[in-house]
Amino acid sequence: MSELYPLKFKTIFLDKIWGGQRIRTVLGKDFGKLPNCGEAWEISGVEGNISVVANGFLKGNKLSELVEVYMGDLVGEKIYDKFGEEFPLLVKFIDAHENLSIQVHPDDATARVRHNAWGKTEMWVVLHAEENAELVMGFNRTISRKEFVQHLENKTLNEILNVERVKTGDVFFIPSGRVHAIGPGILLAEIQQTSDITYRIYDWDRLDNQGNSRELHTELALDVIDFQHHDNYKTSYQSTENTLVKLVDCPYFVTSLFEINKPMDRDYSLLDSFVIIICIQGSAKIIDNKRETEIRCGESVLIPATGLTFRIEPTGNAKLLEVFGK
């Protein structure tokens, strides 16, 4: 069997009723004739939208086929034992030209019973934010289920939702059960469990291109919502040049940020997981003892569990996210 190498994938572009143009204008990714692009899926094992390799001798193969053939060599033995042939994480970019729906995602236990699927815990890194851009994250005070329903029926959710003013570089961790929504003027990177289960609670009374309201999932959502108020919905961190800064460490993934202007050596030979590098500014090369793999802003590279000793060499200044599974 031929040796694995850093893998790049063809982007899966999805138009959305709320999508915009920043995936093209900011990230430089051509989404063709789509009227807009709300989401660009970079690495996905979601059924129906499984990523296809774009480089090397495995070009044209699906990610699911690679996991089936290479198993722990690709994803790590502990990851393979837990998830089998399903790749456990989904990496995407989201561009909101208009409000996304107020929504929530179920946890693993609920998703398993209802959908025979994984739940959805996720995180956001804001790549671009227009002036005064905002998003919804949780509640501004602890409320009861009954109170929530009353506000939903009266269309006064804005009175209880926590609204965050956002800027480029902000990070938000969104555990399953936390009500949230992205507002207009925001481009972000999202790292999440492999799940496409969303319970839409409120969609601003808008209509689709056929004049229909989008489906709501209120009853399903009520059983999974965390009605508690939490402090510090925004993740605090201090970026330090040429230093790895951990952003999120949760049961499903660990994500770190590094801004570099000189080469950085990485050694994950004892990690027992794949590593994903996401370039969110500038460009760089991922260099091992056999090859160089270029990565530009808006691109992601999957480094197999058997190839986790490498050097990252920036072209000028580069900002990258590093993700591995748990």
Question: Which of 69, 59, 75, 64 is CA-nearest to residue 10?
Answer: 59
Tokens of 230: 């939490």
Q: Is the pLDDT of residue 223 over 70?
A: yes
pLDDT value of position 268? 87
Q: Is the pLDDT of residue 187 over 70?
A: yes
Rg of the chain over all Cα atoms, to the nearest angstrom? 20
Tokens of 98: 């208009």
pLDDT value of position 247? 98
For residue 176, what are the contacts with CB-CB under 8 A and spacing of at least 6?
104, 105, 106, 107, 108, 119, 120, 121, 224
Q: Is the pLDDT of residue 283 over 70?
A: yes
Q: Which sign, positive or negative, has the C-alpha torsion 106, 112, 114, 115? A: positive
Sheet-wide strand order for 186-193: 12-14, 39-43, 89-96, 186-193, 122-129, 171-174
pLDDT value of position 3? 86
**Burial environment of residue 32 by CB neighbours within 10 A (0 to 12, 13 to 18, 19 or more):** exposed
Burial letters 219-241, b for 16+ CB under 10 A, else e: ebbbebbbbeeeeebeeeeeeee
> Which residues have a catalytic role annotated?
200
% of the chain at pLDDT higher than 90: 91
Name the pLDDT band for 301 (thresholds 50, 70, 90): very high
CA 61 – CA 58 distance, rounded (Å): 6
The separation between CA 117 and the C-alpha centre of its own chain, rounded to angstroms, equals 17
pLDDT value of position 96? 97
pLDDT value of position 214? 84
Q: Is the pLDDT of residue 2 over 80?
A: no
Q: Is the pLDDT of residue 107 over 70?
A: yes
Tokens of 308: 């986790």
Over residues 288-307, the mean pLDDT reads 92
For residue 117, what are the contacts with CB-CB under 8 A and spacing of at least 6?
111, 195, 197
Residues of the chain with CATH 2.60.120.10: 12-222, 245-325
**Burial environment of residue 96 by CB neighbours within 10 A (0 to 12, 13 to 18, 19 or more):** buried
Domain 12-222 falls in which CATH fold? Jelly Rolls (2.60.120)
The one-letter amino acid code at 138 reads G
The pTM of the full predicted model, rounded to 2 decimals, is 0.95
Query: What mean pLDDT value characterizes the chain?
Result: 95
Strand partners, 80: none
Instruction: Considering only residues 214 and 222, tell me which one the structure prediction assigns the higher pLDDT.
Output: 222
pLDDT value of position 251? 97
Q: Is the pLDDT of residue 245 over 80?
A: yes
% of the chain at pLDDT higher than 70: 100
CA 30 – CA 23 distance, rounded (Å): 8
CATH code given to domain 245-325 = 2.60.120.10
- The set of long-range contacts for 211-217, using a CB threshold of 8 Å and a minimum separation of 24, is 214/17, 214/101
Which element (helix H / strand E) includes 129? strand 122-129
Over residues 282-300, the mean pLDDT reads 93
Burial letters 58-79, b for 16+ CB under 10 A, else e: beeeebbebbeebbbbbbbeeb
Q: Is the pLDDT of residue 92 over 80?
A: yes
